[in-house]
Amino acid sequence: MNEWPFMFFHAFLVYFQSLLQGMKAENKHTKIIVAATKVFAKKGFFTARISDIAKEAKVADGTIYLYFNNKYDILLSVFEEEVRKIVESTEKLLSLESDPRKMLEVFITQHLIAMKKNKNLAEVIQIELRQTNKVIKDYRDNKFSEYTGIIANIIRQGQELGIYRSDIQPDLAKRVLFGALDEVSRVWNASLETHYTVDETANQIISMFLTGILLDPDNLSE
């Protein structure tokens, strides 16, 4: 039998199908990630049910296990995906700036914007950072520390340029700033009370972090 036409067009077939399937698979994976982000944010990791995520993603429960190993794997994926996205967009924005003062302003502003826009994201970071098993934490913190590491790097650059105080420990300052930002956005999600706008909040935090809260810094308590 001459198999030539078969093989030739089989190539086409495979090609077209791969186009479709790539999209399909991507879509389903993404759909589950998006759904899980929403559900985890709303109910927390432990209270969230696999069936909630499945329903939200409009797939069957079993389908989730075609894309993830287990419930925790979903959380991990959601977290890494969200962190990846924010690291990426942050670095893109920062590449446009060279002044470490401006860079911190950009970091602070975009973090707050991101958290405000995507409340799920804020929640999932909260959950991931505090809700899960310590054993696995270290690995993830390494992953996550890419993000906070950006702050430390900005500060180091500023110190080299003589803009930031050299007695400041960058690794401590990065926690101070991240903690401040995180707590502020936590409250946005947790409480129903009205709060300051993103701009106002960003300005205050920038100002506090850069110049402190003292009216007259030269006049410290004795």
Partner DNA sequence: CATGAATGAGCGTTCATTCAT
Partner DNA sequence: TATGAATGAACGCTCATTCAT
Residues forming the site for DNA (CB under 7 A): 17-18, 20-21, 24-25, 28, 48-51, 59-63, 65-67, 70-72
Cα distance between residue 26 and residue 4, in whole Å: 33
Hunting for tokens 């899960």 — which residue is that? 132
Residues with Cβ within 8 Å of 208's Cβ and at least 6 positions away in sequence, in order, are none
Which residues in the 62-121 window bind its own copies by CB under 8 A?
99, 101-102, 105
The interaxial angle of helices 119-131 and 71-94, nearest 10 deg, is 120
Q: How far is the CB of 119 from DNA (least distance, A)?
A: 22
Cα distance between residue 173 and residue 186, in whole Å: 20
Q: Which of residues 141, 146, 160, 199 is near its own copies by CB under 8 A?
A: 141
Residue 135 interacts with its own copies (CB under 8 A): yes or no? no
Cα distance between residue 67 and residue 185, in whole Å: 31
**Which residue's CB is nearer to DNA, number 75 or number 104?**
75
Residue 199 interacts with its own copies (CB under 8 A): yes or no? no
166 binds, among DNA, its own copies, none (CB under 5 to 8 A by kind): its own copies
112 binds, among DNA, its own copies, none (CB under 5 to 8 A by kind): none
110 binds, among its own copies, DNA, none (CB under 5 to 8 A by kind): none
Residue environment code for 28-50, b if the CB has 16+ CB neighbours within 10 A, otherwise e = bbebbbbbbbbbbbeeebeebeb
Residue 5 interacts with its own copies (CB under 8 A): yes or no? yes
Q: How far is the CB of 38 from its own copies (least distance, A)?
A: 14
